[in-house]
Structures are given as structure tokens and as C-alpha cells.
Structure 1
Amino acid sequence: MDRTRLPDRSDLTWLFFKTSGRVNRAAYFLSGLLVSIIQAFPYYHFKLLPEGSPESETWWSIFVVVVMATLWPLVVLAVKRLHDLDKPGIVALVLFVPVVSIVAFLVLCLFPGQPGPNRYGRRTNEPAQP
């Protein structure tokens, strides 16, 4: 991605839905933050309403749908972040282990990626080139 222009639809599709390539710490954290905000919106509305009300049930259902819809983008981001660390994407499965997921998230946010090209791409924040 060229930093001098806004991302277009294909950049966002790659970032959230395709596992090829690498992302750096900042892109991983900020993209994950965006997904978390999207998840928090229906949860916030659910918590504002009285428990058991039809409106709270609706917002809970919306929250569950949003969380299910955002699981893949979160996995894709973790896979590309692992690629930047020159690790296989399958390691992203540790994000589903409750306590380990916190440590894994911190590692992905804090450890710098491998400088220069690696087997997953020439540069960070772009799809892998064949």
C-alpha cells in the first residue's frame, strides 16, 4: 500500500479477507481496533437496555452476528501479522485459547516483524507477490 494515498476497496478487501502477505504492528493493532469498535457498538446498545426486553434481545442478536462476521477478519489479520514475523499462519489458532490468546495478542502487537523480504512477501502491508 502506498502511504501517500487512501486505500481503495481492493486494499481493504486484502487487509480484512485475504491471508497472503504481511502486516506490521501498527496495521495489525489499528485494524484490530477498528474491528473491536465495530463489535462494541451493538454490545453497547445491548447493555443500555433493560435485561430481557425485546430491544435488548434484538441488540444481543445483532452483537452475535457481528462477532461471527468479524471472526474471519481477525484471523486474517493475525495470519498476516504472523507472516511478518516469518511464522506460519496456522499459529493463529492460539488466539482461540482463552489465556494464551492474551499473550499471543501482546506478542503480535509488540514484537517487530522480520526486516526485509521473507517467504511470505517482500514488504509489509501488501499482498505477497508471486
Structure 2
Amino acid sequence: MAEEGRQPSMTWLFFSPSGRIGRLPFLLSWLFWFVIGGIFLMQTLKNEEQDTALALWTLALIVSGVLSTVSIAMLAIKRLHDIGYPGPLALCLFIPVLSPIVFVALCLWPGTQGENEYGRHRNGPGR
């Protein structure tokens, strides 16, 4: 987690499994990756007739898919920490039947107030 008194960085938010995040940062980060993937998919489909552009946009789509998968797993771990559960439960996001249920739960379940074993509560009410 970020050092005490310092603001967490975007790298910490997207790619670190340590610490805690609330519902809103989790949802907004997920939406960010959804929009990025949509943009790359749109460009890939738009350039179907141009081989070079198609290859580049397809590569960008694959890279963004890998980055977003890793990032969403890290975000889910931090979100689970905020609720008070261990990070390995984030693997449930990769089980097709459970994935939507776990996602909705992570978006709606409020975090624990104050400090828990994963760190202190950084934001105000409504986490």
C-alpha cells in the first residue's frame, strides 16, 4: 500500500494487490478497462480491410486484454480486502457462472469501517 500520508498512485490502483479500495474506485476502474477494450475492438473492426492497421489494432486489443485482466484481478483483491476477505477469492471472477454475481457483490457490498488486517479505511462514508 502507499506510504502513510501519501496519495496512492495509479500504478498502485491498477496493478498492486496490497491495500484496500472502495466500491466507487473499483467500479470506475472496471469501466475504464471496459471503455479501453471497446475502443480497441471498434478500431479493430473498423480496419478489417487494411492488413497493417488490423494487425496493429488487434495487437493493441490483445495487450489491453491482458493488462485489464491482471488489473481487474488486482482491483478485486483490494476490494475483497476492503470487505475483510482474503485476496485469493478474486479467482471467483474467473469462474463463468460466479463472475457476474461476484462482480455485483464487489460493487455493492460496503467495506469495513476503520482499520482491518489489510490496512486502514482511507475514504469517507459510503465505501
Give the TM-score taking structure 1 as reference length: 0.80
Which residue of the partner structure matches residue 93 of structure 2? 95
**Structure 1 residue ranges (4+ consecutive) displaced by more than 6 angstroms after TM superposition:** none
Letter matched to residue 21 of structure 1:
G
Which residue of the partner structure matches residue 62 of structure 1? 60
Pairing of 1:108-119 with structure 2 (within 5 A): 108-119=106-117
> How far apart are the structure 1 equivalents of 2:107 and 2:45?
29
Residues paired across the two proteins, number: 117
Per the TM alignment, residue 64 of structure 1 is displaced from its structure 2 partner at its CA by: 1.0
Per the TM alignment, residue 71 of structure 1 is displaced from its structure 2 partner at its CA by: 1.8
Structure 2: gaps spanning 5 or more residues: 1-5
User: Does the CA contact (< 8 Å) of 1:94 and 1:104 recur in 2?
Assistant: yes
Q: Deviations over 1:35-92 (max 9, x none)?
A: 22122211111122337x5133432222112101222211110000000110000000
Letter matched to residue 26 of structure 1:
L
CA RMSD of aligned residues (A): 1.9
Give the TM-score taking structure 2 as reference length: 0.82
Structure 1: gaps spanning 5 or more residues: 1-6, 126-130
